[in-house]
Structure 1
C-alpha cells in the first residue's frame, strides 16, 4: 500500500471537514429545488421564458456595446470536466450569465423530455427513473450537464445502438447572435440542428432541448469476457455491434494485449443469475472489479441498472487514484466509501490546489474516435508513447444528419479513451501529437472537452469529419463576430490568441 504524503492529510481535511458536507447539502438543496420547480410546471415554463429573456437582453447589450469581443458563458473552470487549470481565455471575452437548470416538461406519449442545458445527467436520470423512464444514452458521470454533452460530445456503452448523445436529441432552442430565439430540429433549420453538436457554444446559446426517452428496466445482465489479444477485443466489439443483440457494449484494456469486454442486456428480474450490487459503498471500484475477471475467467452476473449507470462515478473511471491513491483500499472503502462520489467541481479544486505540477506536464486525458480498422494502431501508439492503462473501448456510430457527416450510419467507430499519467516519461506533447496525427489522417476525431495540441490545419481537417458545414452555418447565422471559432476555445494554440 502506498504511504501517505502530508498533502494526503490536507486532502482528507478538505474533503471530510469542509467540502463533502457542503457539497452534499448543496446537492440536496438543488434536488429539492428541481423537484419543486417541476411540480409547478406552469411556473417552470414561465421561469424559463424569463431566463431566456435575460439571456437575450445580455446578447443585445453586447451588440449595443459595440460587439468588440466575442461572447462566451460565464461558467467557472471548476465546473468543467476539462483538465485546463483555468479558462483564462474567458477573461478577454464578453461573458453571458446563463442560469438554466430546470426540467421543463415530459411527454410520455411521445417519449420526450424537455430540459434546460444546465440540468445534470444525474438529476435528469433520477427524475426519469422515478417515472419509469431513462435516456437511451446515459453518460458515465452524474455531474456532466446535458448541454455539455451536446456542445462537447457525449458517448456511452449504448452508443453502438443509439449513436452519440446528440443522436437522441430531437430539437434545440437557441438564442442567436442578434438576440432572437430560434428552434431547430431534424425538419426545421436542419443545417443549424446538425451543426450545434460539438460546436462548443460557437453557433449560438443553447437554452433548452428535447431528448428522447425510453422505458427503464431495473436490472442489467452483464457478461464479462477476458481477452488475451487486442485484436480479439476489437473483433468482439465489432461483431457484437453488427449483431445488435446486447444493449450495452464496452471494453477495458489492462495492458497491451490483455483486457475484458463487457456486454449487457436490460432485464426486469435477476432470475437465477447472481445479483451483484456494485454500487454499495464498500464495493471495489468498477474497473478493479472488471480486472478480476482476467484471473477468474468469463463470468455473468446481474447488476442493478442504476448501479451500472453510476459505475464510473466513484473513481471517475480510474482517475481518482491519482488524487487519492489510497481511496480504493478495502479498509478505506468500508470506513469512508460512503462519501463518494465527490463532485467534479471539488475534484477539480483539489487537483488545482494540491496536485504536483507533474500532473499538468505528463497527464493525458483524451478520447480518440477512429474507424474500427484503426483501433489496433491507436492501442499500439498508446503502448509506445504513453503506456497508460486501463484504456476504455466504446463502439459507436454517426446516426444523425448523415449528409453533414463523413461517416455513414453503417460505419463502426470506436472511442479509445486514454486517461492517466504517461509512464514512459517521454515528451507527452509529442506523443499526443503522434496520436492526434494518426487519428486525423485516418478519418477519426478527438473529443473537444480534452486538451489538444492540434494545429489549425489539422483541426479543420478533423472537424470536417463530423461537421463539414460548420463554417457555412457560422456565416449564415452571423456568428463569426459574436462567438469565437471552436478551435479558439478548445485548442491550446487557438486560446493563445485570446490570452495575450
Structure 2
C-alpha cells in the first residue's frame, strides 16, 4: 500500500467522521457516471473519491491486482495487459469504473462463465460511515462483503479492491450465428453458454425475425492470411452494424478480433443508441458521417451530452434480467408495447440475484417454484426513443417495471427507477438490508431506494438560480435546443455532476 493511497484514505476517514459526528447526510462522489438517472451533487455534502484512480500493484504469480475504485475499465485493461493478465469480466464501456462495477451491478458477455464483476473481487477496503476502515472478504466481515454488491455506495465508502485476473490472449475468435426468431435467439444463446470452449457470449436481436448470437474464444493464434477485424478506429464499423452484415446471408461467420477491440466493441455508438442522435439532428447515417462525427460517438462523450441535455426524459434506457424460461415471452411484450430494435441479449449466471441490489432470495417465477436447480438468467437491453408527454413516459416505464416483476425478473438499477417505496421494498429485502446498515454505521448514507428512485426535484437541480437558471430553462425547453446544448457541454468538457459553488 503506497503513501498516496494511505493519505487519501486518511482524508476520507476524517471527512466521513465529521459527517457522522454532526449527523449530516452525505453522498459519495466519483466525478463521472454511467447511470442515466438525474444526478447533482452538493459540494458541501460529499465524500470525494475521484482521485482514487490508480492500479497500485499487480501480482503476476497470484494473478491479482490491487485497484482503487475510480480506475476505468480501459485503464485497468491497459495495466493488466502489461503483466500478461486480464480481468475475467470487463464491462463494455471503457469509462465504467472498478468501484461502479463492484457496488453497482455489472455483467458482461463473460459473466455466464465468471459471474458478475463483483464475483471477481477477493476483498475490499471500505471506510465505514463513522470513519473507521475495515477489510471485507468471504472470511472477514462476510456479510458486509456480500452486501456491498449492488449496494450503490450505501454501506460505506469503497477505497480499494483486490481483483482476480486470468492469463491474457491477444485475440478473440468470434463466431456470428444467425437466428430467425425470438425463441431461437434465446435457445441459441443458452446453447452457446454450454460450450466449454466459449469465453464470451452475447446477442443482438435486430428484428423479430432476425438476429445474431455471437460467441467468442480467447486465442493467441490467427490463421495465415486472416484479416483482423477492428472496431476502435474512426473508420472501423460499429459492432452492431458489422454483426448485422455478418449474418445477412443466414450462415455462421468466423473472424478474429484484437482483445481490446472486442472488450470495448460497443463503445463507439454506445451499442446502437448513437444512431438515434443522427436521426435527432436530421443527419445522414452512413460510414462517412460516422467517421466525421466519431469524437461524439464514444460513450464518455455521449454520457456527458446525455446528462447535460436532460435527454434521459425522452428515452427508454433499461436493462432487465429475466429467468431464461421467461425471456422470450418478455421480449414479445417489448415488441408489442414498444417496438424497439435492436435489443441486446447477455446470458447471466444462476447467482444473478445475489449481485443485484439486495433482492429477496426467492425469484417470483412460477416456472421455477418447484425446481431445486438454480435458474439461468438472460439480460435484455431495451434502449431507444420514446417521444411522449412526461405522464405517458412515466406510465410506460412503470408498465415495464411491472412486467419484469410478473416474469420473475429484476431491473438493473443504474437506470431510472419509477417504483413507489412500497413497491421497491416488496422486491428488495428491506429488513436484512437495514440491519446491515445499522451494524456498519451506514445510516448517514442514503438508502438504495433513496439513491435510485426517480426524483423530479433532481431534474430541477439541473438549473442554476437567477438569470442564468432562467436562460438554461429556455435553452432546454425544446428538443432541438437541448440537443445542441448537450453537444456544446460535451465539447466544453469539465464536471457535469457537481453543483457550482455558491458565491
TM-score w.r.t. structure 2 length? 0.81
Shift of 1:376: 1.3
Task: Pick closer, same or farther for the CA change 1:375–1:112 going to 2, 3 Å.
Answer: same
Partner of 1:469: 432
Q: 2:270 aligns with which of 310, 316, 330?
A: 316
Alignment of 1:398-409 (within 5 A): 398-399=350-351, 405-406=361-362
What is the distance in 2 between the residues matched to 1:406 and 1:145?
30
Alignment of 1:86-485 (within 5 A): 87-88=39-40, 90-91=41-42, 94-98=45-49, 99-271=51-223, 274-297=227-250, 298-325=252-279, 326=283, 329-334=286-291, 337=294, 339=295, 342=298, 344=300, 346-353=301-308, 355=309, 359-399=311-351, 405-406=361-362, 410-422=374-386, 427-464=392-429, 469-480=432-443, 482-485=444-447
What is the distance in 1 between the residues matched to 2:327 and 2:373?
18
Q: Give CA-to-partner distance per residue, 1:236-261, whole Å, 9 cap, x none.
A: 11222234431110010112232111
Mapped contact 1:121–1:143 kept (Cα < 8 A):
yes
Partner of 1:22: none
Task: Pick closer, same or farther for the CA change 1:199–1:494 going to 2, 3 Å.
Answer: farther
What is the distance in 2 between the residues matched to 1:91 and 1:363?
27
SS of 2:194's partner is helix
Mapped contact 1:164–1:398 kept (Cα < 8 A):
no
Shift of 1:157: 0.3
What is the distance in 2 between the residues matched to 1:70 and 1:327?
48
Task: Pick closer, same or farther for the CA change 1:441–1:473 going to 2, 3 Å.
Answer: farther
Q: Give CA-to-partner distance per residue, 1:250-308, whole Å, 9 cap, x none.
A: 01011223211111111111125553233333121111111113422221111111111
What is the distance in 2 between the residues matched to 1:186 and 1:395?
26
Structure 1 residue runs without a partner (length 5+): 1-43
What is the distance in 2 between the residues matched to 1:402 and 1:82?
20
Moved more, 470-479 or 107-116: 470-479
Mapped contact 2:296–2:302 kept (Cα < 8 A):
no
Q: Give CA-to-partner distance per residue, 1:374-402, whole Å, 9 cap, x none.
A: 11122122112222211100001154996
Partner of 1:73: 28
SS of 2:449's partner is helix
More helix by share: 1
Query: More relative contact order in 1 or in 2 (CA 8 Å, sep 6+)?
Result: 2
What is the distance in 1 between the residues matched to 2:209 and 2:266?
23
Moved more, 323-332 or 165-174: 323-332
Q: Give CA-to-partner distance per residue, 1:143-167, whole Å, 9 cap, x none.
A: 1111011122101100110111111
What is the distance in 2 between the residues matched to 1:97 and 1:409?
43
What is the distance in 1 between the residues matched to 2:315 and 2:222?
40
What is the distance in 2 between the residues matched to 1:462 and 1:169?
26
Q: Give CA-to-partner distance per residue, 1:63-118, whole Å, 9 cap, x none.
A: 33x21x32102345xx2122234x24x44972112221111111111111011100
What is the distance in 2 between the residues matched to 1:149 and 1:247?
19
Shift of 1:411: 2.0
Shift of 1:367: 0.5
SS of 1:295's partner is coil
Task: Pick closer, same or farther for the CA change 1:494–1:373 going to 2, 3 Å.
Answer: farther
Task: Pick closer, same or farther for the CA change 1:176–1:458 going to 2, 3 Å.
Answer: same
SS of 1:254's partner is strand
Mapped contact 2:37–2:452 kept (Cα < 8 A):
no
Q: Give CA-to-partner distance per residue, 1:212-256, whole Å, 9 cap, x none.
A: 101111111111111111000101112222344311100101122
SS of 2:414's partner is coil
| Count of residue correspondences | 442
TM-score w.r.t. structure 1 length? 0.82
Task: Pick closer, same or farther for the CA change 1:363–1:71 going to 2, 3 Å.
Answer: same
Shift of 1:342: 3.6
Shift of 1:444: 1.8
What is the distance in 1 between the residues matched to 2:342 and 2:289?
22
Shift of 1:48: 0.5
Task: Pick closer, same or farther for the CA change 1:381–1:101 going to 2, 3 Å.
Answer: same
* 1:489 matches 2:489: no
SS of 1:379's partner is helix
Mapped contact 2:247–2:253 kept (Cα < 8 A):
no
Structure 2 residue runs without a partner (length 5+): 364-371, 462-503
Q: Give CA-to-partner distance per residue, 1:436-479, whole Å, 9 cap, x none.
A: 11222433211111111112222223334xx9832221121121
Shift of 1:311: 0.7
Question: How large is the Cα RMSD of the aligned pairs?
Answer: 2.8
